[in-house]
């Protein structure tokens, strides 16, 4: 059964105490939610410095996992300030976010570099949450599909079928991230269906239809249900709304209800 995932990307927020309190509050509020019923999963992606403590807190839990917000492509070496995938695995990470638009934009990460990162994550036995998305000008020009296809081709389509089946894709229209603007449910479904159809074209039906595709871009407790009700939207990569327990739990519940 295809996974439905709500992943909270905390970005550069929270103190150590706040991080632990937030996770504990979310877990307490989820106590009555049966995540296993529809193969629902919750993923926390805190800043690097909190991964080890939160990894211990989440150890042994079912359908609740830890993710890193980034990684380096090399297993070790003279890369000051970087973190290898094996290090992330060592502290309990099961997922790694690869290619978030902020990494592409602020840190100039190329499709070729993201290809290497994806390979490193898969080689370590972890799951990449691979982000793709178009800029506002791409949307205005009607080139959003060709932009997404190129990102997938450059970073993912070298993978063998078995490897591709381990990838989670997050579609994030860049114009909707942190802006308060959200793709309409219809726009989200159109792009998710395009991604799934493209995967089917390159790989096969089984790979495409068991692939988890998340929506990211100002998803919140108010619009989650309408976004997640679409056939090809399998959950969300949540930013700001994941920093508040009540809103994050409501988003998780909206996903679990599908």
Answer yes or no: is pLDDT of 223 > 80. Answer: yes
The stretch 134-163 carries a mean pLDDT of: 96
Percent of the chain at pLDDT exceeding 90: 93
- Is there a contact between 175 and 126 (Cβ–Cβ < 8 Å)? no
Q: How confident is the model at residue 228 (pLDDT cuts 50, 70, 90)?
A: very high
- Is there a contact between 43 and 7 (Cβ–Cβ < 8 Å)? yes
The three-state (H, E, C) secondary structure of 5-40, written as one string: EEEEECCCCCCHHHHHHHHHHHHHHCCCCCHHHHCE
At residue 134, the pLDDT reads 96
The stretch 238-254 carries a mean pLDDT of: 97
Question: Distance between CA atoms of 187 and 180, rounded to whole angstroms?
Answer: 16
* pLDDT per residue as tens digits for the range 175-216: 888 787 778 999 999 999 999 999 999 999 999 999 999 999
Give me the DSSP letters along 56-74.
HHHTT-SSEEEEES---SS
Question: Distance between CA atoms of 113 and 75, rounded to whole angstroms?
Answer: 14
Q: Which tokens in the block code for residue 237? A: 């990569």
At residue 178, the pLDDT reads 76
Answer yes or no: is pLDDT of 75 > 80. Answer: yes
Q: Which tokens in the block code for residue 76? A: 């070790």
Percent of the chain at pLDDT exceeding 70: 100
User: Is there a catalytic annotation at residue 18?
Assistant: no
- Is there a contact between 116 and 73 (Cβ–Cβ < 8 Å)? yes
Answer yes or no: is pLDDT of 155 > 90. Answer: yes
Work out whether the CA dihedral 117, 63, 23, 224 comes out positive or negative.
positive
The stretch 91-113 carries a mean pLDDT of: 97
At residue 243, the pLDDT reads 98
Answer yes or no: is pLDDT of 143 > 80. Answer: yes
User: Is there a catalytic annotation at residue 172?
Assistant: yes
| Averaged pLDDT of the chain | 96
Domain covering 4-256 in this structure, CATH number: 3.20.20.70
Answer yes or no: is pLDDT of 254 > 90. Answer: yes
Residue ranges per structural domain of the chain: 4-256
* pLDDT per residue as tens digits for the range 42-67: 999 999 999 999 999 999 999 999 99
Q: Which tokens in the block code for residue 50? A: 């909190």
Active-site position among 100, 102, 134, 192? 100
Active-site position among 102, 134, 172, 250? 172
């Amino acid at each position: 059964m295809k996974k439905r995932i709500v992943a909270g990307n905390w970005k550069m927020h929270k103190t150590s105490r706040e991080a632990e309190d937030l996770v504990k509050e979310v877990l307490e509020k989820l106590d009555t939610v049966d995540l296993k019923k529809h193969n629902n999963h919750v993923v926390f992606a805190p800043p690097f410095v909190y991964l080890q403590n939160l990894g211990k807190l989440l150890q042994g839990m079912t359908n609740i996992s830890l993710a890193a917000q980034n990684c380096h492509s090399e297993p070790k070496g003279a890369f000051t300030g970087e973190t290898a995938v094996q290090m992330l695995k060592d502290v309990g990470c099961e997922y790694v976010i690869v290619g978030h638009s902020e990494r592409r934009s602020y840190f100039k990460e190329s499709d070729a570099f993201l290809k290497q990162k994806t390979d490193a994550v898969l080689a370590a036995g972890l799951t990449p949450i691979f982000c793709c998305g178009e800029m506002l000008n791409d949307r205005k020009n009607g080139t959003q599909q060709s932009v997404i296809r190129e990102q997938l081709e450059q970073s993912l389509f070298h993978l063998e079928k078995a490897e591709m089946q381990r990838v989670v894709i997050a579609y994030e229209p860049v114009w909707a991230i942190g802006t308060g603007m959200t793709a309409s449910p219809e726009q989200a479904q159109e792009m998710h269906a395009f991604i799934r159809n493209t995967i089917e074209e390159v790989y096969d039906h089984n790979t495409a239809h068991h692939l988890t595709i998340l929506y990211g871009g100002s998803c919140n407790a108010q619009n989650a249900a309408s976004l997640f009700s679409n056939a090809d939207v399998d959950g969300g990569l949540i930013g700001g709304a994941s920093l508040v327990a009540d809103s994050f739990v409501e988003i998780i519940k909206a996903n679990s209800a599908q």
